[in-house]
Structure 1
Amino acid sequence: MEWLVEVIVELLAEFVLALVLEFGGRVLLAPFRGEPSPWVSSLGYLVLGAILGGLSLWLMPHSFLHQPALRGLNLLVTPFAVGATMGWMGQWRAKKGLRVLRMDRFAHGYLMALSLGLVRYFWAG
């Protein structure tokens, strides 16, 4: 039963990081009017996810998941969950008539969470 708590804590930690990125990104990107190409944005979200993964290692150097199979499963499931959540937030924002950033799309949320998860997967003790 302890492994279930570990999975839930790891999933929640990545969701919190994605939400912090969502709101922080809006504040940081507000002054810029033009958006770069989707490829440049994708690369940017990969790099940003890796940076956030490195920062998360500084704050939480050990993985919540200790079993290798669960860590691998988390690396597969969590980026999809984060991407789906970000896509849902983008749809919600579009319905409200609010500006939709690239982070509000499945692919960019997925890429950010995947790179964050990969950093934690390989370097978290």
Structure 2
Amino acid sequence: MLEILFELLAELLFQILGEVLVELGLHSVAEPFRKRPNVWLAVLGYALLGAGLGALSLGVFPGHLTRDGWPRLLNLVFTPVLAGLAMAWLGRWRARRGDPVLRIDRFAYGYLFALAAAVVRFNFAD
């Protein structure tokens, strides 16, 4: 049981770390493009970025971090939700500090990004 919790925590930390790194990169390049993009283009962009991160992660961690069966499905369902909540918390923290807030700093976009990464890993990891 403890091993399953560790596996789920490892997946969660991996997805949050990936989102934070992307968020930092997006903040650095967002300044010249202050105009808000179309919502559907943003959804497509975050889904593609998440899937891309999931694909890149297969080079570093080619195997699943969770066991077959219900732990892997649990990871696919709950880890993106927790990652989305973490990004929403980060967005509120940034807003309170007066820092610019990007779309990924909201739950829905953070969730979508993490879900895309998780789906790619779920389907293509060894």
1:78 corresponds to which letter in structure 2? T
Q: Aligned partners of 1:13, 1:3: CA distance in 2, in Å?
A: 15
Shift of 1:90: 1.2
1:106 corresponds to which letter in structure 2? F
Deviations 1:79-104 (A, max 9, x none): 11111111111111111111111111
Match of 2:42 in 1: 41
Q: Aligned partners of 2:78, 2:87: CA distance in 1, in Å?
A: 14
Q: Which has the higher mean CA deviation after the structures are superposed, 104-113 or 24-33?
A: 24-33
Does the 8 A contact of 2:8 with 2:79 survive in 1?
no
Match of 1:70 in 2: 71
1:48 corresponds to which letter in structure 2? L
Moved >4 Å (runs of 4+)? none
2:26 is aligned with 1:13? no
Match of 2:120 in 1: 119
Q: Aligned partners of 2:104, 2:12: CA distance in 1, in Å?
A: 19
Identity of aligned residues (%): 43
Counterparts of 1:81-120 in structure 2 under 5 Å? 81-120=82-121
Give SS of 1:31's match. helix
> How many corresponding residue pairs?
125
Shift of 1:4: 2.3
Q: Aligned partners of 2:96, 2:12: CA distance in 1, in Å?
A: 27
Shift of 1:31: 2.3
Does the 8 A contact of 2:76 with 2:115 survive in 1?
yes
Shift of 1:119: 0.1
2:43 corresponds to which letter in structure 1? S
Task: Give the alignment's TM-score, normalised by structure 2.
Answer: 0.93
Unaligned runs of 5+ in 2: none
2:92 corresponds to which letter in structure 1? Q
